[in-house]
Structure 1
Amino acid sequence: MIGSYGWAGGREAMLRFGPATGPVVVAALPLFEEANRTRTFAVTLLRRLAERGIAGALPDLPGQGESLVPTHKTSLLKMQDAFNFTCDTFDREGRRCYALGIRSGALLDGLASVAGRWHFAPMLGDKLLRELKRAAIAADPQRHDLDALVFGGDTPIEIAGNLLAPTLLGELPTARPAPGARIVRLASDTGEADRKVEGAPLWRRAEPDDDPALAVLLADDIAAWVRTCES
């Protein structure tokens, strides 16, 4: 079902899945191009959760998806604030919220009062910034102005086809996922995790893709985790 939620900056679209009562898993996609590459997978994952009796929601945060906020007008703080308002929508219905962060989406649930956090392949903000710089230099090997642009001025910066605000880029070096999350990573990922699973890093592919088998595996893990938290 297509719904919406309100936040301080207006209204944004939100996909809703599963039952109209009980706990809700609210998903945050990765930032920038990785959001496009993983959106189909996130929808598949939330549908598999719905089949297991767990409701889900996928909000468009400011600067993401169909949001009316341009990418260069958003910031981590605005996206965190909007994610918090999304959870408040369900709190007002008397439903407990759980955050699901994919990759850099794990940076976006820090302001939300949730019953628990579940992060898939979470990354630090400074790693994301390094990846953005590499992409910019790969596109233009003569570009050596990124540090000056990121940490000074108000002019939007074009990186990998995205027009980004220096404010947002300046937030990344200190951005960290909120502590206490259950962390699941791919087996090929060397980072610490509560569980590692087999699967392909869809965020590395050139085009949006899906992995139904991985979605089933993760949905089973999330559903069991939510039920443990609820008991």
Structure 2
Amino acid sequence: MIDSYDWAGGREAMMRFGPDAGPVVVAALPLFEEANRTRSFVVTILRLLAARGIAGALPDLPGQGESLVPTHRTSLLKLQDAFNFACDRFDREGRPCYALALRSGALLDVLAPVAGRWHFAPIPGEKLLRELKRTALAADPQRKDLDSLIFGGEAPIEIAGNLVSPALLGELAIARPAPNARIVRLATDTADAALKVEGSPLWRRAEPDNDPALATLLADDIAAWIRACAS
């Protein structure tokens, strides 16, 4: 169902799944275009968790989804603050809250009052910033000295059709996922992880896509992890 939550900057929409009691998994999509490519996949995971008796929520964060906040008016701190408020809603109801984050979404749950964090293919902000710079230069090879625009400018910077605040890009340079998360990665990823699974990186595809088989594997792992956390 479609619900909403309030944060310091206003009200945002939030999709809800599963029962009205018990633990809740609140999902953080990756930033920018990767959010569009992976949204259906994350919704599939949350629906599979609901079928396993575990509630889920997917909040729109400022500058994401149906939010009325323009992308160039958001910041990493605002995104983190909004995710915090989304989780706090369930925390105040006395429900154990867990964060599910994909890719750069792992940068957004650091302030949230959660009982645990589960991250799929998390990346630090500096890696995302490098990818954004490559995207900007590929679109405009004549573009020079992006660092001066990011760290010294105020005007929004256009990257892959999105106007992005230099302040947000500057925040990415030092942003890192919260420690002590359960980390799951694709088998092709050489970074450390508690579990590696077969699958393809949906965030790399040109269009939004889904992988129900991979979603099932991940939902099974999340459900088992939540049971272990609660025991």
TM range (shorter): over 0.9
Structure 2 CA distance for aligned equivalents of residues 228 and 205 of structure 1: 34
Question: How do 1:60-99 and structure 2 match up within 5 A?
Answer: 60-99=60-99
Question: How do 1:74-223 and structure 2 match up within 5 A?
Answer: 74-223=74-223
Residue matched to 1:228 = 228
Q: How far off its partner does 1:147 sit?
A: 0.4
| Amino acid of the structure 2 residue aligned with 1:34 | E
**Counterpart contact for 2:27–2:57, Cα < 8 Å:** yes
Structure 2 CA distance for aligned equivalents of residues 63 and 189 of structure 1: 29
Structure 2 CA distance for aligned equivalents of residues 6 and 145 of structure 1: 39
Q: How far off its partner does 1:113 sit?
A: 1.4
Task: Give the share of equivalent positions with the same residue, in percent.
Answer: 80
Structure 2 CA distance for aligned equivalents of residues 48 and 215 of structure 1: 8
What TM-score results when the alignment is normalised by the length of structure 2? 0.99
Residue matched to 1:51 = 51
Q: Which 4+ residue blocks in structure 1 deviate beyond 6 angstroms?
A: none
Q: How far off its partner does 1:153 sit?
A: 2.1
Aligned residues: 231
Alignment gaps of 5+ in structure 1: none
Structure 2 CA distance for aligned equivalents of residues 126 and 91 of structure 1: 31
Q: How far off its partner does 1:145 sit?
A: 2.6
Instruction: Return 152-161 or 18-27, whichever deviates more.
Output: 152-161
Pair 1:12-2:12 in alignment: yes
Alignment gaps of 5+ in structure 2: none
RMSD: 0.5
Deviations 1:31-75 (A, max 9, x none): 000000000000001000101111000000010000010000001
Q: How far off its partner does 1:6 sit?
A: 0.2
